[in-house]
Amino acid sequence: MALTTQLPVIKVLTGCTASGKTEWALRYAQSTGAEIISADSLLFYRGLDIGTAKPTKQELNLIKHHLIDVMDLNESMNIAHYVTLAQQIVKEIHFKKKTVLVVGGSGFYLKSFFKAVADQVEVSPQLRKTVDDRLIHDGLSSLVTDLESLNPQGLGALDIDNPRRVTRALERCLSTGMTLAQLASEFEKIPSPFRDYTIELTRIEQSPTELLRRIELRVSLMLQAGLVDEVKHLLTLGLRNNLSASRAIGYREVIAYLDGKISLSALAPEIIANTKALVKKQQTWFRTQLPAHQVLPTDSLTTPAALFTR
């Protein structure tokens, strides 16, 4: 009889913005002794607290979290570095015989647990600076035009409204001379960096009515908690130079308000509208980019154990 080896497990919990990932992750970790690895691209940065709905200091002290508050605004994370860090952390958690719980909804970082990703292409610092400078001086639409000329067959599922996705896609095409479709085909052949693990993926969902209520409440609480003052402080630390952070929902609208481009009365509605648009994009991405997974309506969840059935 052939012997079978059971692979160690990584549990992944995702869902769109305001779906309740943090709440349920904390409850699950408390009940199981799990340690949490963040797969949220904004939680890497120190100081981005209110606008990201980052777990509170009390919550961070209660449950061991990894890859939160690990970078200053003048630093940048890339997927290759993230994978290297995450691999080491996963090994350390398993060595302690604890459960690994990955939590987040940032596409490339989440997807890295299932397959190799295109951001692992080596891009020279000179090219990266050239593309970033062009984004600042010529605007996002100019980079999209360049990408379209390099990809006559189309841009696929690329989010052309996301500056980071567009700049990184253009960098990869320029670095390799390949189209996005060719890059995707090549990277399909590369083994997943977490191929030696069993990945259990659960996505939680709120009803549309409840999700809207949670988004509106979340924005209200963020503004009451001092989001505008947080952004004022972050601007002194170089927020504008960090494209991921300065263009993130919540931060970009407050910057627009501080720049006199929108009124204070329009601030909350603007953040809510942009959050709703983001949720639609996230929902589409989850359906089309993630492998087959369990989808759980939160109104059916009674205990944290129900998040993962294996």
Q: What CA–CA distances, in Å, run from 121 to 42, 134, 183, 185, 194?
A: 22, 20, 9, 13, 18
The CATH code of domain 9-116+191-307 reads 3.40.50.300
Non-local (6+) Cβ contacts of 215 within 8 A are 17, 18, 272, 275, 276, 279
pLDDT, tens only, 94-148: 999 999 999 999 988 999 999 887 556 788 999 999 999 999 999 999 999 999 9
The tokens describing 300, both together, are: 């059916």
Looking at residue 191, its pLDDT comes to 87
Backbone angles phi, psi at 55, to 5 degrees: -50, 145
164, 32, 30, 149: which is closest to 97 by C-alpha?
32
For a pLDDT cut of 70, what percent of the chain falls above it?
97
pLDDT, tens only, 251-299: 999 999 999 999 999 999 999 999 999 999 999 999 988 999 999 999 9
Looking at residue 1, its pLDDT comes to 41
| Angle (nearest 5°) at CA 66 between 64 and 72 | 130
- In the chain, CATH 3.40.50.300 sits at 9-116+191-307
With a cut of 90, say whether residue 239 has pLDDT above it. Answer: yes
pLDDT, tens only, 153-163: 999 888 898 88
236, 194, 215, 220: which is closest to 91 by C-alpha?
194
Q: What CA–CA distances, in Å, run from 221 to 70, 225, 233, 264?
A: 25, 6, 19, 15
Architecture of domain 118-188: Orthogonal Bundle (1.10)
pLDDT, tens only, 177-204: 999 999 888 877 888 899 999 999 999 9
The tokens describing 148, both together, are: 């379209």
- In the chain, CATH 1.10.20.140 sits at 118-188
